[in-house]
Amino acid sequence: MNVILKGAYGNMNIVGANDASCKYYGWTKEEFTGKKLFHIATLSKEEIKTEIEKAKKGIQNRFISRHKLANNEIRNVEVNSIPFVTDEKTLLCLIIHDITNITAVAEKLQNSEEQYKAFFMDSPISILIHDKDTGEIIDANPTTLTMYGFSSLDKLKANEFWMEAPYSFKEALEWIHKAAAEGTQEFEWLNMKATGELFWERVRLSPITINGVERVMAATIDITRRKKAYDALMNSEGQLRSLLDTIPDLIWLKNTDGVYLSCNAKFERLYGAKEAEIIGKNDYDFVDEELADFFSRNDRRAIHASSVKRRIVINSM
């Protein structure tokens, strides 16, 4: 399920939601558009603003959070954020993946050996038990065999499904050692089924003791659909950026207050600054007041005429 929300940077308003979002959260599209991000996230407003700033600056685009549904149920989610520009606004596209099951199962199985026995066989989550030193697969539940496409544990153990770095056995063993020494580790992993089909997993490694022996448990879920949706959005954004940077004209985007939201490489050269330094500023930060006033008047006329703005740069600049 690919839950996609669109939110505005400045005011944290939710401005759009796909059908999967409505089904997952329990609100209609109309109800969503009247909410802010802090209505669904359990973080404080300041914490949400901090995460939005990290996403905007490209520092971090994946977050683990807790979201509240319409029925007040709290779910653990993984949030992938993609900034994009549309209709003169910089928005944040949030691809949300529910990871409640994987975290809940892992926590329950850590609590006691009795719970381990009770949940292991019937769990809807793929569970593998590894030797904490060698990484050898000690056990796997039926969900794992189905997910990987094997008919028995022995066939799973005998399979050489390791990829090239960074998804080789060497990296996998490093993660297992880290989980054994430092505690729970979470990451994404590219794996291969018995048929040779590649798929993406969300992996949670946890240290666990079974019959007095220390092991590392891997609880995993298939996130291939979510990854494909994310990659498609990133590819679309990248293609648009490449197009803008190869067009010989000056291209920029402002909001109705004259604040820059985006620009292409040629516009960067005009102002002698990188896009990151231009975004959030206006003409008065780069040119003299008289010329900035001229640009501002042109912008207002363009807005009033509901026309597409295109500035002709004169030599006197």
What's the confidence (pLDDT) of residue 98? 85
| Most confident by average pLDDT, 80-89, 129-138, 211-220, 269-278 | 129-138
Structure tokens at 51: 């995460």
When pLDDT is cut at 50, 70 and 90, the band that residue 194 belongs to is very high
Q: What is the mean pLDDT of the chain?
A: 80
Of 165, 227, 210, which is closest to residue 1 (Cα–Cα)? 227
Q: Structure pTM?
A: 0.50
Q: In what order do the strands lie in the sheet with 198-210?
A: 137-140, 126-131, 213-222, 198-210, 185-192
Of 273, 274, 253, 271, which is closest to residue 262 (Cα–Cα)? 253
What's the confidence (pLDDT) of residue 50? 82
The arithmetic mean of pLDDT across residues 309-313, rounded, is 37
What's the confidence (pLDDT) of residue 227? 81
Of 249, 280, 266, which is closest to residue 57 (Cα–Cα)? 280
Task: List, for residues 98-146, the tens digit of each pLDDT value.
Answer: 888 766 666 665 555 556 666 788 788 899 999 999 999 999 999 999 9
When pLDDT is cut at 50, 70 and 90, the band that residue 309 belongs to is very low
The arithmetic mean of pLDDT across residues 71-88, rounded, is 77
The arithmetic mean of pLDDT across residues 71-90, rounded, is 76
